[in-house]
Structure 1
Amino acid sequence: MQKNKKIPGRPVKKGGLSRSGIMLIVLSVALIAVVTALIILLNVRGGEESKPEETTPAVTTPAPEPTEEPTEEPQVSDVDFGSSDYSREFFAKDLFIGDSIATGFNDYSKLNAENVAASVSMTPYKAHAEDIALADGSTGSALSYAEKMQPERIFLMMGFNGLNSPIAMEGSFRALVEKLESACPNAVIYLYSITPLTANSSAAASIGVDNSNVISFNEYLRGMCGELGVVYLDIFSKMTDNAGALRSDYNEYDGMHISAPTYDIILSYTQRYIQETPEPEASSKHAPVSSPAVTTTSAPEENSTPDESSAPADSEPDSTSSLSEDYDKAFFADDLFIGDSISTGFSLYGVLDPKNVAAAVGYTPYKALNNAIDLGNGVTDTAYNYAVTMQPKRIFIMLGSNGITAAASMEESYRTLVEKLQANCPDSTVYILSVTPVTTDSSSAANAGIDNSMIRDFNKYLRELASEKGVTYIDLYALLSDDNGYFLHEYAENDGLHFKGATYKVVLKYIEDII
């Protein structure tokens, strides 16, 4: 008997579900799975939100606080320069401190006299150390006048008088700002850039500077302002022509001083700058708590003593740090100091009158005989000719730093200078001052390729020359050096070659005692 025999013409029925039934079941299961997954997901998220934080939280990087766009000081270039529309009353509670350029604010009646404390020969050092005639009929320093006035704003406009000794003036500028911030804690201090020069400026030629010197020093002023919380006003770039020189319509007559209408433009620009930009808080609130000692170049107050901790460890405790600064300025009233950039500090710091100094940056014995410089009597001539005209009581020669890398050639020109002075100033007593030392880290010495061994060798020649010519040799090297022969930092300027203000007083006292 056969099994599973098919009967023709009839379909054979199979056991189980049809294709459509199976698909329906699959879709139902998938739908249930999706719903279940959603329920589980919602429960998990809800549990996380209600679940308390674990005892040990995961280490996460805190989200940074929203950063605001930095509030940069508006650029001066955004303010119009050229308008002459300003209000004198706007500056009624302000004070302008400056040199011969700043005197024009009063001379041309652009500001009230009580708003200007300026003099022809003003320098940053003299602004706090030298008396001038003031608007109230009294005499006093610009600093003392500011302290008494307590102005809302102080505008500083100076720099030409010390531009040929920039290293010294850098420190005295900083010292003036710090003193003003201390004396006038609620004042906002503004500092104008030094103004440009014409290409053929006779005034600039007389002091041996040009626009490259101005630009370089303005960069220092800009940086200093940022450090000390002072507002820097760049009028140099506003006053130049396409060649980078002072525009002819701003020039007065000598290529340095400015015409009367230019003061209107500067004041209008200043007023607009203040009105169109948020005026900062008092400069003293932005200034550092203390300034680095190495940048302060003004002479210490008479009752102060040098910080012993700044002296080299191997220096004797009772050596240079105890040297007196109590010199008599009148003692040198009939004398003449001939020298280089170091010697310019005698007049720049006010320790001697300008008429007693014939010095210039880059001066050498040869140049003292042949190169004319700006002199204290208002004329231009060589230091040698000035000495012959003046016939001083004593002549102090303080040269050598600039030519020491070619000492052999400088020896002969030094000898010639001494011989000519002796021959043509017969009643003058000539003194040769040694070349002074440099510090261990002197940047100026490194740039010039000199060191203390070269200085000592040349000083040996100077000592021999003095003996040969019957003049007195004064050893300042020994006075200002430590036990290792390096310039004591407490008396050295930042560059390790030039003098701080106090050092000039020490030197003069030492010379006075010897004589």
Structure 2
Amino acid sequence: MKQRNWYTIFLLSTCIVAGMIYIAGVYAPDSMKIARAALQYVFNHSEGSFSEGSFWTDGVEEEMQSTDDAAADDLNSTDVDSSDGTASDNTDTVTSDRKLTEQPQRELPQIPDDFTGVLFVGDSRTVGLSEYGKLGNADVFADTGMSVYNVTKKALPAPDGEKHTLDERLQEKNYQIILLMLGINELGYDRNVSYKRYAELVEHIRELQPDAWIVLEANLHVTQAQSEKDNIFNNENINQVNENIRQLAQENGLGYLDVNVLFDDENGCLKADYSADGAHILGSYYDDWSAWILQELQSGDANNR
């Protein structure tokens, strides 16, 4: 009798374990998406309500799915080891020596104080800059969740009141300077693939705007507290991405700006009292940022050649 009870307990335990394994297999993909969405939550909010400490999450799932799909397409089509056909894991290293099409050297454009002739392209940080900074007559193509995987697919409101894609904006008007700030929303994806897409985006912009001076911007650091608790959105990863961007600019005659010199503490982290969420600066500091950009552009300090 005791042997039969033991056998019954054994069968029940086996069934429970098998059921747990099955459930894990079914729901693991969704769990990964939830985890990634939670990590990126802080980077996908409305800058318009940032200073009040409230957050906006509508559309986060759509943004994440768009980036997930595009990244998966690249991983399946480009990041494959030809020797055995398996996908390469290049999350820790990246090949940064990517040469773009050579362009002739030319004098830096003269930028007026109202940013006339300047286009800003970026993610939620650039959204905040456009809403709280003093960008004057500059054009802005920026949205929360923007990344190299979706920047050419989005259609955003333009000065004419209509929605236009980035290509349409670049084809409709000639710019003197185009500033690009992307990279934070790509963290967690294969770094080589993201870098490849970043370089291709820069090349594409140069093809559509051959006379524009392109300035690549480093990504803002997060606070020390935010960095220490996050395995993906931390300053070590941000610094690696920024270094790749800097090298791309240096090797291809592009401008480069690193605003972290303005907002970092002594440890190379975003100052804690400058941020409410650990990732974005308070609305009151965007004026300092826009003034700093103007100074760097007018002085030629953004010239990375």
Q: TM-score, normalised by structure 1?
A: 0.36
Residue correspondence of structure 1 range 98-137 to structure 2 within 5 A: none
Q: Which residue of 2 aligns with 1:429?
A: 213
Residue correspondence of structure 1 range 29-108 to structure 2 within 5 A: none
CA distance in 1, matches of 2:219, 2:167: 19
CA distance in 2, matches of 1:384, 1:172: 34
Q: Which residue of 2 aligns with 1:166?
A: 46
State the secondary structure of the residue aligned to 2:270: coil
CA apart distance, 1:446: 5.1
Residue correspondence of structure 1 range 20-31 to structure 2 within 5 A: none
CA apart distance, 1:385: 3.0
Greater mean deviation of Cα atoms: 383-392 or 474-483: 383-392
Structure 1 residue 507 corresponds to structure 2 residue 294: no
User: Would you say the 8 A contact 1:329–1:352 is kept in 2?
Assistant: no
Q: Which residue of 2 aligns with 1:50?
A: none
State the secondary structure of the residue aligned to 1:430: strand
Q: Which residue of 2 aligns with 1:44?
A: none
Alpha-carbon spacing, 1:168–1:486, altered in 2? closer, same or farther (3 Å): farther
**CA offsets 1:278-321 (integer angstroms, 9 cap, x no match):** xxxxxxxxxxxxxxxxxxxxxxxxxxxxxxxxxxxxxxxxxxxx
User: Would you say the 8 A contact 2:216–2:245 is kept in 1?
Assistant: yes
CA apart distance, 1:459: 0.8
CA apart distance, 1:170: 4.1
CA distance in 1, matches of 2:53, 2:268: 30
CA apart distance, 1:447: 6.5
Alpha-carbon spacing, 1:413–1:377, altered in 2? closer, same or farther (3 Å): farther
Q: Which residue of 2 aligns with 1:466?
A: 249
State the secondary structure of the residue aligned to 2:224: coil
Q: Which residue of 2 aligns with 1:441?
A: 225
Q: Which residue of 1 aligns with 2:40?
A: none
Alpha-carbon spacing, 1:356–1:448, altered in 2? closer, same or farther (3 Å): farther
Runs (5+) with no aligned partner, structure 1: 1-163, 175-207, 214-327
User: Would you say the 8 A contact 1:355–1:377 is kept in 2?
Assistant: no
Q: Which residue of 1 aligns with 2:200?
A: 416
Residue correspondence of structure 1 range 305-324 to structure 2 within 5 A: none
State the secondary structure of the residue aligned to 1:426: coil
State the secondary structure of the residue aligned to 1:405: coil
> Alignment partner for residue 331 of structure 1, among 114, 117, 132?
114
Residue correspondence of structure 1 range 332-481 to structure 2 within 5 A: 332-349=115-132, 351-352=134-135, 356-406=139-189, 407-442=191-226, 449-481=232-264
CA distance in 1, matches of 2:52, 2:159: 21
User: Would you say the 8 A contact 1:335–1:393 is kept in 2?
Assistant: yes
CA distance in 2, matches of 1:354, 1:330: 9
Alpha-carbon spacing, 1:462–1:456, altered in 2? closer, same or farther (3 Å): same
CA distance in 1, matches of 2:123, 2:159: 15
User: Would you say the 8 A contact 2:265–2:271 is kept in 1?
Assistant: yes
One-letter code aligned to 1:373: L
CA distance in 2, matches of 1:387, 1:514: 23
How many correspondences in the alignment? 203
One-letter code aligned to 1:476: V
User: Would you say the 8 A contact 2:147–2:183 is kept in 1?
Assistant: yes
**CA offsets 1:247-283 (integer angstroms, 9 cap, x no match):** xxxxxxxxxxxxxxxxxxxxxxxxxxxxxxxxxxxxx
State the secondary structure of the residue aligned to 1:373: strand
**CA offsets 1:44-76 (integer angstroms, 9 cap, x no match):** xxxxxxxxxxxxxxxxxxxxxxxxxxxxxxxxx
Q: Which residue of 1 aligns with 2:267?
A: 484
CA distance in 2, matches of 1:351, 1:416: 30
State the secondary structure of the residue aligned to 2:251: helix
State the secondary structure of the residue aligned to 1:369: coil
Alpha-carbon spacing, 1:350–1:451, altered in 2? closer, same or farther (3 Å): closer
**Segments of 4+ moved more than 6 angstroms:** none
One-letter code aligned to 2:280: H
Q: Which one has the largest radius of gyration?
A: 1
Alpha-carbon spacing, 1:422–1:209, altered in 2? closer, same or farther (3 Å): same
CA apart distance, 1:457: 0.6
CA apart distance, 1:404: 1.9
CA apart distance, 1:359: 0.3
State the secondary structure of the residue aligned to 2:150: helix
Identity %: 27
CA distance in 2, matches of 1:378, 1:350: 21
Alpha-carbon spacing, 1:173–1:349, altered in 2? closer, same or farther (3 Å): farther
CA apart distance, 1:350: 5.6
Alpha-carbon spacing, 1:358–1:414, altered in 2? closer, same or farther (3 Å): same
CA distance in 2, matches of 1:346, 1:352: 8
State the secondary structure of the residue aligned to 1:441: helix
CA distance in 2, matches of 1:336, 1:448: 33
Runs (5+) with no aligned partner, structure 2: 1-43, 63-110, 298-305
